[in-house]
Amino acid sequence: MRFAFYPALAALWFLSGCTTTPMVDYDHGASERLNTYTTFDLATRVNNGEFREVILSPIVDRRIERAIVETLEKRGYIRSSTEAEFLVAFDTITKTRTDIDSFIVTTGASPRSPFYGSIDTADVSYREYEEGTFVIDVIDNLSQELVWRGALSQRLGKDAPDQENIQKIITSILDQFPPQPKN
């Protein structure tokens, strides 16, 4: 039980590190349909199946859900549990990363080498850290297919995210939904 807590804690911390630009991918065949959506609902743990594994605490889960609903409603979408054209699911993923700070190679004489020859040494300084990725999926409710995905990766911090931090992340990802037609 104790070890099951660590992935959840790491997922909570993902929102407080350095942010990056959101990455977006979508089904180009569904791009016209994406631009006609008007109603949505949140995918529940029961109905989102393969799209989400919940590792967040229920508190942070509710914060994220509130931020998604607020962002979409501000953009004119209507939440409807009975007539939703698309469902929104989210997930978090953590990964251990390594930063190499310095790599120094030195050459010099060594009394241990035969005939006091040269010796090469290398000094590597590195540190490991956790990187979190936050993923928002848009699922077409009629076909039950994933049609849009937005993700943002950043270094994890040590504090649990508050509603304001979560709102910034959600807004930055959903700013790219629906995809704009290319000129």
Say which residue, 111 or 172, is predicted with more confidence. Answer: 172
pLDDT at 9: 37
Q: pLDDT at position 11, please?
A: 44
Q: 15 or 67, which is more confident?
A: 67
Query: CA-to-CA distance for 13 and 7, rounded, in angstroms?
Result: 10
CATH assignment of 2-98+129-174, given 3.90.1530.10, 3.40.50.12660, 3.40.50.450, 3.30.160.670? 3.30.160.670
Domains of the chain, residue spans = 2-98+129-174
Q: How confident is the model at residue 172 (pLDDT cuts 50, 70, 90)?
A: very high
Quote the CA–CA distance of 79 and 86 in Å, as a whole number: 10
Tally of CA atoms within 13 A in the half-sphere of 23 that contains its CB = 8
Instruction: Return the half-sphere exposure (C-beta side, CA atoms, 13 A cut-off) of residue 26.
Output: 22
What are 104-159's pLDDT values in tens digits? Answer: 666 665 556 555 555 566 677 778 877 878 899 999 999 999 999 999 988 777 76
Closest of 178, 86, 177 to residue 140, by C-alpha? 86
Confidence at residue 175, expressed as pLDDT on a 0 to 100 scale:
93
pLDDT, one tens digit per residue, over 43-55 is 875 444 444 444 5
Alpha carbon distance 102, 61 (integer Å): 39
| CA distances to 105, 117, 120 from 114, in Å | 21, 6, 14
The pLDDT tens digits of the residues spanning 69-87 come to 999 999 999 999 899 999 9
Full-prediction pTM beyond 0.85? no
In the chain, pLDDT over 90 holds for what percent of residues? 33
